[in-house]
Structure 1
Amino acid sequence: MKKSMIKYAGIAALTLAAVSSTVPASATTLISGQSTSGRGPFGAGIEWFNDEVKKRTDNAVDFDIQWGGALFKAPAARQSIADGIADLGIVIGAYTPREMVAYSISDLPVMGADPWVSMKATQEFMTTEPSIKQQLAEQNLVYLGTYTTSAIQLICKGDPVTTIEDIKGKKIRGIGVYGKTFKELGANLVSMSYYQSYQALDTGLLDCTQGYSYATKSLKHYEVTDSITLLNWGQLGALGMFMNKDTFDSLPENVQKALLDVGNDVPDYYGQRMNHENDTALKDMKEGINGKSIDVLSFDPEDLKKVKKAGEKYISDWVKNANEAGLEGERMLERVKSLVVKYEKQRDEEGYPWAKK
């Protein structure tokens, strides 16, 4: 772990402070660089990953989590992990679509709205395509596991948005394929962080923001909005735990196996968590939180078909970009679609895995 040792010298005090007395002195400490604050289900999902790896290796490894972008901001995560500034961390595919072109398929509407289905399909795709593993190795990265934002919804202040006509002229914060489609349908697209949208909604800079049910509650957007329109159109699913390959290769085989195994188990843990968080948030916001409630609305079914149709061209763009990157874009797209069908069928016939326990 040549690169890691250089890092440790600079933040030794932080590392020592973070190591619990229950961790053996011989444990390897891995630096986890995270741009999120650590609050909410996403932070809990990262903590769960770390705890599971420690448990499955009998505390042979420990994690020093640097939250809130202390080591690097989200757009720099891929390069920073590859350079060894951290041993591992979450990489958001949307920030580096060229380098993460294969992974960015998880940001497309082909994944559907079910968090568990999306993550299972993504996990199998990312771990069974040799060309993806090779491209990541060339970037000094190893893919471990995937998370998701869950289904895209539209949170609005003032007049409700339930048709395409309602979208026209609205100031909407949106990103990815979904934001581009809103703009194409007549919205005035506003670029800003999701975390800045509370104030923007409150002051009228925004009419609506692209968001997610659980986050509308946790970020308290319900305080400054009047409705949430359920699109259940797709997800931003290219949110993955990646590791510096030099560090990964230096670890004992049992630790490598634990990291990969836990990564494979993330969809079951996080899928259950997301379903629960979203259902609870919608119920609470509809009934009212501290006296403030919002309307939970549905988008017009016929207009929703048109919205989805408008977004299809961006799927074709992905195929083109994948081909230009030396990947088999058409074949990969069809494979991902088949994986989505596979896990939808498994869910419908057998139920979610946590429901069996």
Structure 2
Amino acid sequence: MAVGGALAAPQVQAEDFNVTIVAGHPPVFRWVKHASQTFIPAVEAALEGTGHSITWSEQYGGSLAKVGDELEAVEAGLAEVGLVSSLFDPAKLSPQNVTYFTPFVSSDSTLVSGWMDELQATNDDMRAAWEENGLEYLGGGIGIDDYLLMTTFPVESIDDLDGHKIAAPGPAVNWLEGTGAVGVSGNLTLYYNEIKTGVYDGVIVFASAALPGKLHEVAPYITKVGFGAQYAGGLAANKDWYDSLPEVVQDALKAGAKADAEAYQKDLDASVTMFLSMMEEQGATITEVDPAFREEWASGMNNVAQDWAARLDSEGKNGSAVLKSYMDTMRAAGAEPVRDWDRE
């Protein structure tokens, strides 16, 4: 019947979407590798049978955006999807940086990144930070293993740091307060050459990136201070573009991000101990500080967490609530912070 035909459900037209994905870091780093090897294949698998497909253009290693510029590239539509480093956008994604203002809390990167991934969806202030910048958070939290101190000189006491230039990423520069070291903002793409040429005397970095970056060749003294695991960002899409997609494509992107997070974290956990051993075998000297050293370092810092939270509060972003929620969750999960940043 003609009437019946007119009332039939409209057919969804199959479509191939051209998608550019961007990362400032090169694929030698694990989170970029998994964007290519896990996220993209998982999205394609989720799209099977839907009639939709994606043709990808992968732009990594600064080819489209440098480290810290991924947010702007995605917001402007130069890329549809990006590995957005909240660590390097502390003004635009300030609530996402809570872990970097609370060092010495937990060395469990699976716990930290998993909870932070969830928080992006459940916390209004976290979600608003993405949306204010024209982004939709997909997932794929970049968990960072326990941060280390790598130097060109041995560190036996905090006094040994006095006067030395130590580079650290974004807010982690604050961790050097009270040590006498001169904190310098830097990132993984700069560390090797800057240490080699004497610009830095050391860096605060993590084992899973230190070995691929060959940092032990120029900073062979590795000190396990116990700064803790961190959350450094995740996969995000241009929100206008994302909102225009069929629901099945939106779902596929988020399924891909979930698969990415699981594979990335499994890979990370398997690598950290092995990478430390490999650096030691290649000539690095590894030492681990005792609890007294760790407590001395933590207690010598200003309460950067509360300063950060107060600043966010003044901007209407509920920083104190974010800080309390994060610390309460970590303690409930079994973490034993060296310093209860939210309770002082």
Shift in Å at residue 49 of structure 1? Answer: 1.4
Q: Which residue of 2 aligns with 1:82?
A: 75
Shift of the 152–280 alpha-carbon distance from structure 1 to 2, 3 Å rule, reads: same
Following the alignment from structure 2 to structure 1, what is the Cα–Cα distance between the partners of residues 121 and 107?
22
Q: Check the 8 A contact 2:19/2:57 in 1, yes or no.
A: yes
Shift of the 205–135 alpha-carbon distance from structure 1 to 2, 3 Å rule, reads: closer
Q: Secondary structure at the match of 2:113?
A: helix
Shift of the 205–329 alpha-carbon distance from structure 1 to 2, 3 Å rule, reads: closer
Q: Which residue of 1 aligns with 2:25?
A: 36
User: In the alignment, residue 61 of structure 1 is paired with which amino acid?
Assistant: I
Shift in Å at residue 109 of structure 1? Answer: 2.7
Residues 169-191 of structure 1, C-alpha deviations (whole Å, 9 max, x = no match): 22211233432231431002234
Q: Secondary structure at the match of 1:228?
A: strand
% same residue: 22
User: In the alignment, residue 42 of structure 1 is paired with which amino acid?
Assistant: W
Q: Which residue of 2 aligns with 1:320?
A: 310
Following the alignment from structure 1 to structure 2, what is the Cα–Cα distance between the partners of residues 156 and 270?
28
Query: What RMSD, in angstroms, separates the aligned Cα atoms of the two structures?
Result: 2.3
Q: Check the 8 A contact 2:195/2:202 in 1, yes or no.
A: yes
Q: Residue 295 in 1 paired to residue 289 in 2? A: no
Q: Which residue of 2 aligns with 1:216?
A: 210
Q: Secondary structure at the match of 1:214?
A: helix
Q: Residue 106 in 1 paired to residue 96 in 2? A: no
Q: Check the 8 A contact 2:138/2:253 in 1, yes or no.
A: yes
Q: Check the 8 A contact 2:170/2:186 in 1, yes or no.
A: no
What is the correspondence of 1:1-357 to structure 2 with a 5 Å cutoff?
Answer: 26-47=15-36, 48-58=38-48, 60-109=53-102, 112-145=106-139, 146-158=141-153, 160-286=154-280, 288=281, 292-311=282-301, 313-344=303-334
Gaps of 5+ in 1: 1-24, 346-357
Shift of the 321–32 alpha-carbon distance from structure 1 to 2, 3 Å rule, reads: same
Following the alignment from structure 2 to structure 1, what is the Cα–Cα distance between the partners of residues 108 and 218?
27
Q: Secondary structure at the match of 1:218?
A: coil
Following the alignment from structure 2 to structure 1, what is the Cα–Cα distance between the partners of residues 98 and 182?
25
Following the alignment from structure 1 to structure 2, what is the Cα–Cα distance between the partners of residues 342 and 51?
35
Following the alignment from structure 1 to structure 2, what is the Cα–Cα distance between the partners of residues 40 and 137?
27
Q: Check the 8 A contact 1:52/1:262 in 2, yes or no.
A: yes
Following the alignment from structure 1 to structure 2, what is the Cα–Cα distance between the partners of residues 56 and 252?
13
Following the alignment from structure 1 to structure 2, what is the Cα–Cα distance between the partners of residues 64 and 184?
46
User: In the alignment, residue 74 of structure 2 is paired with which amino acid?
Assistant: I
Shift in Å at residue 147 of structure 1? Answer: 0.4
Q: Secondary structure at the match of 1:232?
A: coil
Q: Check the 8 A contact 1:116/1:267 in 2, yes or no.
A: no
Shift in Å at residue 284 of structure 1? Answer: 1.4
Task: Name the stretch that deviates more: 250-259 or 53-62.
Answer: 53-62
User: In the alignment, residue 150 of structure 2 is paired with which amino acid?
Assistant: I
Shift in Å at residue 162 of structure 1? Answer: 3.6
Residues 221-251 of structure 1, C-alpha deviations (whole Å, 9 max, x = no match): 2222332111221244232211100111111
Give the structure with the larger helix fraction: 1
Residues 177-215 of structure 1, C-alpha deviations (whole Å, 9 max, x = no match): 432231431002234443332233334333211111122
Q: Secondary structure at the match of 2:163?
A: coil
Shift in Å at residue 319 of structure 1? Answer: 1.0
Following the alignment from structure 1 to structure 2, what is the Cα–Cα distance between the partners of residues 130 and 257?
21
Task: Find the structure with the greater CA-based Rg.
Answer: 2
Following the alignment from structure 1 to structure 2, what is the Cα–Cα distance between the partners of residues 151 and 126?
22
TM-score normalised per structure 1: 0.81
Q: Check the 8 A contact 1:29/1:62 in 2, yes or no.
A: yes
Residues 297-347 of structure 1, C-alpha deviations (whole Å, 9 max, x = no match): 1123212112223446110022112212322222222211233345558xx
Gaps of 5+ in 2: 1-13, 336-344
Shift in Å at residue 280 of structure 1? Answer: 1.0
